[in-house]
Chains A and B, each alone.
Chain A
Amino acid sequence: MKTGVFVLLLGIAAVFSLPAQTAEIIETIGNESEISVGSAAYIAAASSNLIEPDASPRQALDALADRGYRAGGDAEDESVRLDRFAYMLMVAHDLPGGVMYSLFPGPRYAFREFEFERILRGGGNPGDPLSGTRALRLTGRVLSIVEARG
């Protein structure tokens, strides 16, 4: 396991108790250089306890859809965009956004929310692909905010 992924996983597990099987799957995803829509959905849904540990990426997407996530026609195995992963995390943790996110929830305003909350640091474009390490780092920051807000 790469040290960075291990540390991130440890941080996430400290904030949120992950089942061992989920931790294993997330560890695998964390080592990917470019994660897929399905993997991103799994991280987002698992970090909010929306799915069972052995859930498939499809089930993770369905769990997010149940909370209002609009998939936008992305295939599970397609590379996920940064703004779409931000949207997944916003939906999974029911994060309130700004006025425009409340009116039109979607990747565009989720991305801007991530910039405003400084979840997204070091720049990036909405269409950027996402590495597993970065996805876990973003998830860790979201969990910190969720925990702080109680």
Chain B
Amino acid sequence: MKYTHFKAVFAALTVATLLFFPFGELSALDVGSNMNSRSVVRVDDTSFENLDPSLRNTVSAWVRHRPVVSSSEPTGRFLFESSVTNLLDMNDADEWESQFVFDVDVLRLDGTFPQWGPPGALVRLSAGRFPLSEPSGLVFSDRVDGASLTFDFPDFSMVFAGGYTGLLAGENSGVVMTSSDLVDASDSETLTAPNRLLATAHTTFPEAFGTQSVDAGVLAQWDQRSEFDATGEKLDSQYLFAAIDGPFGESMYYDAAFATSLQQRSPADVSEPDGLADAEFGVGLGALLRGRYYLGASDSSVITAEGRFGSGDGDTLTAFTPVTDPSLNLLNPVSGEDSLALMLDYAWRPFAGEPGSKARSLELSAYGAVSTNADPTAAGSYQGTEAGTRVTYRPLSDLGGRLWLGTYMPSDIDNSEFIGRIEFSSSF
């Protein structure tokens, strides 16, 4: 869809949403809108001179069909959500640069087919643009254009899915795997995400051992890029992953995941007919261990400890390159490749035990995270440390915000910075 067409669809959807606001129920059809604003300021923490502000404001509109799901008859439903994001950045000349990003966030058709599977099973089919992730959390979590088929059996479920990332708006996608992808990400004329095909299949056993849930599966991605500059490269990869999670005692929950990658990396070579040198094969490893400990009345406090590992290039292993980098909820993202990251987070909801209180959603948290290269004992391995605090509050169902203050100390201490972030969100 051309952007001009998309703008027209977005405007029509927004107007339709506004027109529907005063009405009550609309059969199974529902429409709504969300507004999110994020302002970030980065300041050099030694001189306080280099002020780097940026703003990101997003308005989205959605329409969805939510019929009553029948346990015996096929049921269809859909969700369409589109957004426009305004990015404001201050350049080196202290002038604001503005950019608009139009995106179809979700365009999803879902069907449930109780009669397709054996008795007690439910078959679900989804097609369109939708979020897709694999259960280890180490390899991929983003949207795709594709389809997924899920079989829910009483004791386990199976998911088969495939999709394409090359039509997503690059600004809203986290797919970055190669130097060529990085070049595209910083190129203002490249509007879409890297062209990659994905296929995945995984199985979940919700209560494999007592209350422990076990997942296992595979994911493969094929780089569809056809043009390479001199420093470019092509990367195909396949992943095997397994994950286990569940309670550990009365108040503790954990996730543990392991993934291995098989990679075929082809550097650019202009002397070759296809512009690529022969592929170099490699094997990488990724791992995740996370524990959450709840304490206090109404679980008002939670301590989260998390460690992530992604192998780097070495004698026996090569770099573990995930399709999307792991989400560690930090102001400065940590790469999943050649990385060891440890994080400790404490969150406290002082009014959690007071039902109906408007202060119930107030959450105060503090955290610290340190990251190094995969081998922390090697010289120059240290990447950086981040520490910060957040205040999150949603006093009304359709209005909320967050204040986030942090400091980041990279290996070059002269590049340390303070970061302040304010977020508002509302829904209509």
Contact = CB atoms under 8 A, between A and B. Distances in A.
Nearest to A149: B356
A117 B394 CA distance: 11
A141 to B, nearest CB: 8
A68 interface: no
Interface in B13-43: 21-28, 30
Interface residues of B, number: 25
A100 B355 contact: no
B355 A148 contact: yes
B356 A117 contact: yes
A70 B25 CA distance: 12
B354 interface: yes
Interface in A111-150: 112-113, 115-117, 125-129, 141, 144-146, 148-149
Nearest to A108: B24
A108 B23 contact: yes
A70 to B, nearest CB: 7
Nearest to B20: A108
B200 to A, nearest CB: 25
B23, B24, B396, most chain A CB atoms within 10 A: B24
B24 A70 contact: yes
A91 B355 CA distance: 19
Contacts, number: 79
A100 B24 contact: no
Given A83-B25, A104-B22, A125-B67, A148 B356 contact: yes
Interface residues of A, number: 33
A145 B24 contact: no
B399 A72 contact: no
Interface string A55-81: 000000000000000101000000001
Interface string A91-104: 00000011111011
- Binding site secondary structure of chain A: helix
A150 to B, nearest CB: 9
Contact of B356 (A98, A107, A125, A145): A145
Contact of A108 (B25, B354, B394): B25
A98 B396 contact: yes
Given A72-B24, A148-B357, A127 B66 contact: yes
B67 A106 contact: no
Contact of A84 (B25, B354, B397, B428): B25
B356 A126 contact: no
Contacts of B67: 125, 127
Interface of A: 70, 72, 81, 83-84, 87, 97-101, 103-104, 106-109, 112-113, 115-117, 125-129, 141, 144-146, 148-149
10 contacts: A83-B25, A87-B24, A99-B396, A101-B397, A106-B22, A126-B30, A127-B25, A127-B27, A148-B354, A148-B357
What 8 A-B pairs have minimum CB-CB distances, sorted nearest first? Answer: A145-B356, A116-B397, A98-B398, A106-B24, A98-B397, A98-B396, A148-B356, A125-B66
Given A126-B25, A126-B30, 7 more contacts: A84-B24, A112-B398, A113-B397, A117-B397, A125-B66, A125-B67, A145-B355
